[in-house]
Structure 1
C-alpha cells in the first residue's frame, strides 16, 4: 500500500471513530444497546490498533497537565465512589473515548483531522435529512427506536423521530435529539465555511454542504445551539479583527469584547421573557432549574471529592434512577457540565476541568490570532482553517452551560482532541502553508495544511 493510500485509510478510520462518537445514539436506536456496544468496541479497537501501529512519541510535557490531573481524578474516584460498579463502568467508557481521542490527535496530521471531522459531520447531516424524509413520506407517524415497545402513550422524548419534517420541525435526525443534531449542523456550518475560505473545498461542494447544514440547523430550532452559534460567531469575529492588527494594538479589542459581553448579558437579562417565548421555552428552561436544584443538593452533601465518576448517568444507579424526572422522562445528565463535574468529582475535579477548559481556550485563541512563522524566520499568511480549534472550543463550552455532552461521547472526544492538538502545536511548530494560493502543493502535515485529495473528494 502506498503512503498516500495508507494516509487516506487512517483518515477514513478516524472518520468512522468520530462518526461513532458523534452519532452514538444512531447506533443505539438502530441496533439496540448490544449492537451499539459492538460498534463502539470496534471503534475503540481501531483506535488502539492505530496507536500501536503508529507508535506516536508521547512526551508528557506535550499533554496538558490539567488533562492528566482530570483523568487521574476520574480513575481514582472509584476509591471513594458511592456506586463503585457504576463508576468502574463510567471509567471504562471515559478511557475508551480517551483512546479514540489519542488516536485522532496523535496519529493524524492537522489536515487529516479536518478531513475526518468533515466526513463524520457530513455523514451525520446527510443521513439525518434522508432519515427524516423517509419517516415523513413512508412512516407518517412518530417512529420509536428499534427493539422497543413504548406503547401509544409514550412521551415524545422516547421517539427516534416525531415526523415533523414537513411541519417545519423540530427534527431529531439519526441522533434522536434536536440539540445533538443542531450542534452537529453548527459544527459543519463553521467547518465548511472555514474550509471554503481557505480554499480547501470545491465551491460547488462547499455551497451545497453550507446550505444543507444551515437547513438542518434551522429545522432543529434548538435554543441551546443558537446560543452556541452566537458565541462562536462573536469569537471568530474578534479573532479575525485581532488578525488584522499588531499585537501592540490589541488591548482596545479586549476592552471592546469585555464591554460588548457585558452589554449582551444586560440585554439578555432585560429581554429574558421575550427570548424564552421566542424559543418556546418555559420559565424554568424546560425543567433545567429543577434538575440543577437536585444536583446542587447532592453537591452540598459531598462538595470536595464528589460521589464518583459516571459520565453519563446510569439509570440503574441510585439516585439517578429518579433524580431528574420530568413529564415521565428520566433525564440522565445535569444539563450543565460544570455542575455535573462538581457532583461527580467534587471541587478538585471542577478545578481540574476548569483548568483544562481555560487552557484549551487560551491556546486555541492565540493559535487563531498569532501569525505563524516559517523556518526562515519570516511571517506566514494566516489561513482561515486555523480558526477551527477556537470555534470548536467555544461551541463546546457554550453548550456546556445547558448540556453535559462535553463529558461524554462526541463532545468529550472533540474536547480532548482540541486540548491535545493545541498543546502539541505549542511544542512542535510546523511550517504553515500560505493561504489559498497553492493548497494542493503545500506541505500536508502543517497546522494549517490542506487536506489534499481527501478534501477534494469529500465534497
Structure 2
C-alpha cells in the first residue's frame, strides 16, 4: 500500500486524528455517537496500518517509561475496577489514542507537526465562527446536538445546548465543540501555534488574521482559566528568553536562581490574593461549583486510596459509584457531572496514589525534556555555533497551557488532551536530534 508512505497521507491522517480528538464533541453533536464511532474506527484502523507499515521505525519498546507504566496500571486496574466492562473499553480507547500520537510523533517532523496543528486550529476556530454566525443570523435560537432531547423542553439545562445563540450579543460562544471553556482552550493553543508560525516566518500575512481570530475567540469565551494560562505562558516565555541569553554556566545558574525566586513570589502572591484574583476573573470562592465536585471526588477516593476505583477516563452515569449521590452523582446546571474538573483528582480517584505518582512522573519528565528543547541551541554542523529555534518552543508552551487547564478540567486525560500529552512525551524523547529540528526551519531566531 504505497499510499501509506506518501507525505500527503501522513499529514492528512495527522490532521484528522488531531482535529477529531480535540473537536470530538463536534462529531458527536453533528453525527451522533454512531457517526463519531465511525470516525474513531477510521482513525484506529489507519493507526494500526501505519504501525504495521512502519514497524521498523516506530520503536514501541523505547516509549517513555512513565507512559508505559500509566497504561499498564490502567490495564491492571481492570482486576479491581468497580466497573470492569467500562474500564476495558476505557483502556482500549486510551491505548488507541496513545498509539495514534506515537504514529504522528514518529512519522512527522517538528515542522510538519507545526503545520498540521496550524491547519487543525484554523479549522476549529474558523468553523466555530461560521457555525455561530449561522445560528445567530438564520436559526436565531439556541440549538441542541442532534442526539439530545431535553427532558423538560420548557426549562432546558443550558449546558445541554450546542450553541446558545450568543454571537451577536458578544456572549460566551461555544463554537463547534459546544463548550465555551473548550473553545477557549482551542483558541489559546491556536494562539501559540499561530504565534510560532509568525515568529518563524513560516506563514504569510494571513497568519496575522488567524492570530486575531484566536484573540477574538478568547475575548468572547472569557474563560478565567485561559487568562491564568496566558499569564503563565508569558512568564514561561520570558524565562526561556532569559535562559537562552545566558552564555556561561555561571550566568545560567544565576538566571535559574532568579527565575525560581520570581516564580515563588508570584505563586505566594497569587495564593495570598486569590480572593481578589477570583473576583477580578468573575469567579466565586466555590469556583463555579468545582469545590463541591472536588469534595465528592476526594471523599470517594478516600475509600480506595492506594489504587483507586479503576480507570474510566470519562465517568459513566449508569455505573456505581456515579449513581450514588453520597459519592459521585453530582449535578451542575441541571446536568450530571462526568469528570472531576481537575485532572489530578481524576487520576487520584481512578488509579489512586500510585497512579497519581506515575502520572506526575509522565508530566514532569515531559516538561523537563520540553524545557531543554526550548532553551538549548540547535547545531547543524561541527563548526556551527548554534542557534535557537522558535519551533522548539512548541511543546513547552502547549504543555503549559494544558497543565493550567488540568487544574479546572480533566481533558488532558482524554481524547485530544491525552493525544497531545503523549505526542510531546514521545516526540521530545525520540526526536531531539540536530537534523530533525533543523530540517523544518524556515528561519531561525538568534
Unaligned runs of 5+ in 1: 434-442, 452-459
CA–CA distance in structure 1, aligned partners of residues 22 and 56 of structure 2: 25
**Structure 2 gaps, min length 5:** none
Q: Deviations over 1:345-404 (max 9, x none)?
A: 111111110000000000000110011222425332112111001101111111111111
- In structure 1, distance between residues paired with 2:383 and 2:4: 30
Aligned partner of 2:80 in structure 1 is 80
- 1:66 Cα deviation after fit: 0.8
Cα separation, 2, equivalents of 1:270 and 1:342: 27
Question: Superposed, which structure 2 residues align to 1:435-446 within 5 Å?
Answer: 443-444=439-440
Q: Which segment is superposed worse, 161-170 or 15-24?
A: 161-170
**TM-score (normalizing by structure 2):** 0.93
Matches within 5 A, 1:232-243: 232-243=233-244
Equivalent position to 2:366, from 346, 360, 367: 360
1:69 Cα offset (Å): 0.7
2:182 paired residue number: 180
Alignment-derived partner of residue 124 in structure 1: 124
> Residues 100-132 of structure 1, C-alpha deviation per residue, up to 9 Å, x if partnerless?
111211121221111111111110000001011
**Structure 1 runs (4+) greater than 6 angstroms displaced:** 1-5
Shift of 1:147: 2.7
Q: Work out whether residues 380 and 434 of structure 2, in 8 Å CA contact, stay in contact via their aligned partners in 1.
A: no
TM-score, normalised via structure 1 length: 0.91
- Aligned residue number for residue 39 of structure 2: 39
Is residue 2:298 matched to residue 1:296? yes
Q: Aligned partners of 2:437, 2:105: CA distance in 1, in Å?
A: 18
Q: Quick check: 1:373–1:432 contact (8 Å CA) kept in 2? A: no
- The yes-or-no answer on 1:159 pairing with 2:161 is yes
Which residue in 2 is equivalent to 1:418? 424
Provide Cα deviations, 1:150-186, integer angstroms capped at 9, x if missing partner.
1131111110011111111211100011111101100
Counterpart-to-counterpart distance in 2, 1:383 and 1:327: 45
Secondary structure of the structure 1 residue equivalent to 2:79: coil
Alignment of 1:245-394 (within 5 A): 245-248=246-249, 249-321=251-323, 323=328, 324-376=330-382, 378-394=384-400
Q: Which residue of 2 aligns with 1:409?
A: 415
Residue 2 of structure 1: CA displacement? Answer: 10
List per-residue Cα deviations over 1:260-282 (Å, max 9, x = no partner): 22332333334333332333322
- Indicate if the aligned counterparts of 1:291 and 1:334 stay in contact, CA closer than 8 A: yes
Displacement of 1:8 in angstroms is: 2.3
- Cα distance in 1 between the residues matched to 2:417 and 2:40: 15
**C-alpha distance in structure 2 between counterparts of 1:225 and 1:370, whole Å:** 28
What is aligned with 1:457? Answer: none
Q: 1:246 to 1:287 in 2, by over 3 A?
A: same
CA distance in structure 2 between the partners assigned to 1:247 and 1:159 by the alignment: 56
Aligned pairs for 1:45-124 (under 5 A) are: 45-59=45-59, 62-124=62-124
Mean Cα displacement is larger for which, 246-255 or 187-196?
Answer: 246-255
Stretch of structure 1 that moved more, 233-242 or 44-53: 44-53
Q: Does the CA contact (< 8 Å) of 2:163 and 2:173 recur in 1?
A: yes
**CA contact 1:80–1:307 (8 Å) conserved in 2:** yes
Relative distance call for 1:82 and 1:190 in structure 2 (3 A) is same
Q: Which moved more, 1:6-15 or 1:51-60?
A: 51-60
The 1:315/1:383 distance shift into structure 2, 3 A limit, reads same
The 1-side partners of 2:47 and 2:58 are apart by 15
Preserved CA contact (<8 Å) 2:109 2:436: no
Displacement of 1:313 in angstroms is: 0.9
Contact 1:56/1:106, CA 8 A, preserved across alignment: no
For residue 86 of structure 1, report the CA deviation from its aligned partner.
1.3
- Distance between the aligned counterparts of 2:293 and 2:32, measured in 1? 27
Change (3 A) 1:108 1:391: same
- Residue 5 to residue 45, structure 1, CA distance change in 2 (3 Å): closer
Structure-2 change in CA distance of 1:245 and 1:327 (3 Å):
same
Whole-angstrom CA distance in 1 between matches of 2:167 and 2:390: 34
Paired with 1:3 and 1:197, the residues of 2 have a C-alpha distance of 34
- How far apart, in 1, do the equivalents of 2:383 and 2:376 lie? 14
Per-residue CA distance 1:321-358 (angstroms, 9 max, x = gap):
45221232111111111111111111111111000000
Deviation, 1:429, is 4.4
C-alpha distance in structure 2 between counterparts of 1:403 and 1:310, whole Å? 15
What's the CA shift string for 1:65-88, capped at 9, x where partnerless?
Answer: 111111110111101111101111
Aligned partners of 1:270, 1:368: CA distance in 2, in Å? 31
Counterparts of 1:403 and 1:327, CA distance in 2: 16
Match of 1:230, SS state, is helix
Q: Greater CA deviation, 112-121 or 123-132?
A: 112-121
